[in-house]
Amino acid sequence: MSSPLAPSRRTLVAGAGGAALAGAGGAVVHAAAPAAAARSTYAPATYAATPVLPAAQRHLVSRFSYGLTPALAAQVRRSGGAAAWFEKQLRPSAVADGMPSGFGSWWPSLSRGPKELWDRQAQEVEGGWVVMQNYQRWVLMRRTFTQRQVAEVMTEFWENHFNVPVNGDLAFTHRAAYGSVVRARALGRFEDLLLAVTTHPAMLIYLDGARSTKARPNENLARELLELHTVGRGTYGEDDVKASARILTGWWVDLFGSWEAGYRTEAHATGPVRVMDFADDNASPDGRDLTRRYLSHLAHHPATAARICRKLALKFVSDEPSEALVASLARVYLANDTAIVPVLRALVASAEFRGSAGRKVRDPGEDVVATYRALGLKVGPPTQGDAAVNAMLWQVANLGTTPLAWPRPDGAPLTGDAWSSPSRVLASFEAHWVLAGGWWPKVGVTYRRPPAWVPRFPITFRLLVDHLSRTVLQRPSTAALLEACCLATGIAPGERITRDHHLVRWNMHRLLATLLDSPAHLTR
């Protein structure tokens, strides 16, 4: 027999397991636990035929992917466990990419050169903002479907650290290529990455290095290099910024001409320079080697090691990582010539990482991508304007932000409180609702039909909830989750679900959305 009429979905925020918000330090606040009698009524079942990874393995894969799925869990098992999977992921060339057939040609302008992109905008053929929105969609697709999940997560981390917003006026000419440069070095040495991004035309354009000359050194890139990209505040002064700017003169971009990047010796400011404990005679008009030595010094600076390792811990451990963990990771970083892979190995081996499950809130992009992955949606090319691959970006925007569009050089926040407002949570509920129901988008996407979510008929509701929890959330169900599902659907725990049951015929979206609204999905 069905329970009384289910309440509206938003009233479930007050029910057990109905929602998650980030409290102080990004901790997840769960709704009140049910009374003892209710716990007995909502005792979960176990659908053993649907396997899940052990909790520790699930934690590792969840932190270093965009959402654990049955296919990814099977891949982890085939690899011999999460640790072996992680090691293989650290060598992305050894992993099949797995992107849809023909994906590289979905947005032709992402392969166009900078001058052609600029000319197309000037001729009103295609605006730069359109190209950049398509780049954001390209990125969302990669996050959703690539099997190189660790490499993609680290690419996002570095594109955020070395932020060049996609909504800049001129940098769009080189922005997609900039992303490729970061992706190719995301699991390499920080020193190599720092040199590549600092001298890249997208960064030079965004932070005015392209206009900086010995006659008029521009301090924007020089300051952000110190403040944001390497040593951080409190380690340098204004004279250091000025010297840093002089070191970087000579790198340029032919703005409004060929848009090609290069080096002009006549624009380089020569003469002695000192930045903190780095000093050089700077006698040569060709300052490229000076730039390399200067950036190498910054990459190996203890303050840089601490800053980079703290950000890695913020991203992958907790919103308040201990100073002991940061110091330990920094020692690994310096001992390994700024290589990132040894730092990641040390991070996941730490007790602090192992004890941090459920303490990181998914940001809007992670939420939408994880939802597409959890629902097993298949997305095709953008054959028309409202195609799913286009709508995906709008869905992320509805949650409060879009990928790579943070408007300041400091990059989007890595802490949960930035993404945990009531309006964000309700917007996530709405996104989960429409995707669970298959209502929008409708074009260029394939949804699983409701009967496909049921492993066998008939089945009791509590068994179905456990199966779906294992499928969608990749973990066994709990009493709190079962109660929330019963409240959302109006179905009692022991009720038999048949092929003709109203849940299968028209209410499956209520059950799926409740799973997606749970703390297990809203955190990683």
Q: What is the pLDDT of residues 279-300, one digit of tens each?
A: 999 999 999 999 999 999 999 9
Residue 59 belongs to a domain: no
pLDDT of residue 40: 72
pLDDT in tens, 23-34: 333 333 333 444
Residue 51 belongs to a domain: no
pLDDT of residue 37: 53
List the domain range (segments joined by +) for residue 205. Answer: 104-299
Query: What interhelical angle do 302-316 and 149-161 show, nearest 10?
Result: 130
Residue 492 belongs to a domain: no
pLDDT of residue 2: 36
> Distance between CA 272 and CA 157 in Å, rounded?
35
| Average pLDDT value over all residues in the chain | 93
**Residue 38 — pLDDT band, cuts 50, 70, 90?**
low
Q: Are the C-beta atoms of residues 160 and 176 closer than 8 Å to each other?
A: no
- In DSSP notation, 435-492 reads HHHT-S--BSEEPPPGGGG-SSSSEEHHHHHHHHIIIIISS---HHHHHHHHHHHT--
Residue 415 belongs to a domain: no
Residue 241 belongs to a domain: yes
Residue 173 belongs to a domain: yes
**Residue 16 — pLDDT band, cuts 50, 70, 90?**
very low
Helices (runs of H) and strands (runs of E) counted in the chain: 25, 10
Report the share of the chain in percent with pLDDT over 70: 93
pLDDT of residue 9: 42
Torsions phi, psi of 205, nearest 5?
-70, -45
| Tokens matching residue 439 | 């209502």
- In DSSP notation, 38-56 reads HHHHT-----TTS----HH
Residue 271 belongs to a domain: yes
Residue 139 belongs to a domain: yes
Buried-exposed string 478-498: b where 16+ CB fall within 10 A, e elsewhere = bbbbbbbbbbbbbbebebebe
Looking at the 3D structure of the chain, how many domains does it have?
1
pLDDT in tens, 227-270: 999 999 999 999 999 999 999 999 999 999 999 999 999 999 99
pLDDT in tens, 398-407: 999 999 999 9
